[in-house]
Amino acid sequence: MTFVASLGELERAVMGVLWGADEDLTARDVQDALSDRDLATTTVLTVLGRLERKQLVRRMRDGRAHHYRPVASREDHVAELMSDALDGASDRGAALARFLGSMSEEERANLRDLLD
C-alpha cells in the first residue's frame, strides 16, 4: 500500500497554483498568485519545502532562483488519494457502493463509459 501525503489548506492552495500553471514557478510567482492571502515569502518557501519533502513538488535551481513544479497532475494525486482511501476500508465493496451512491447520474454514466 502506498501512502499519499495529506495536504493542509495552504498546501492545497499552493498545489492548486502549481497545478494550474503552464510552466515552472518561483516562490515569488506562487506568492503573487496567492496575493489575496498576504503571505510572506518565507511562508511560501516553507510550504514549498514541505511539499518537496512530501514528494509532491520538484525543485530545480535556475541561477540564483529555484523553480517548482508538481511531480504529478492533480488527477493523479486525487486518484492516489482515492486508492489509499479504498485500501483503508474494511469492506471495499461497501465503500465503493457508497461512493457510487454519492455520484450524479452524469458521473455514473462517465464511469460506465470508462469501464466499457
Please name the residue ranges forming H helices in the chain.
9-20, 27-33, 41-53, 74-87, 92-101, 105-115
Residue 58 and residue 98 in one domain: no
Residue 19 and residue 58 in one domain: yes
Is the pLDDT assigned to residue 10 strictly greater than 80? yes
pTM given for the model: 0.81
Residue 22 and residue 40 in one domain: yes
As for how many domains the chain has, the answer is: 2
pLDDT in tens, 16-61: 999 999 999 999 999 999 999 999 999 999 999 999 999 999 999 9
What are the distances in angstroms from CA 45 to CA 1, 27, 51? 30, 6, 10
What's the number of CA atoms in the CB half-sphere (13 Å) around residue 97? 4
Give the pLDDT confidence score for residue 1 in this predicted structure. 42
pLDDT in tens, 62-82: 888 899 999 999 999 989 888
Residue 50 and residue 85 in one domain: no
Residue 31 and residue 53 in one domain: yes
Decide which of 55, 70, 85 is a domain's last residue.
70
Domain containing 58 equals 9-70
d(CA 111, CA 10) in angstroms, rounded, equals 31
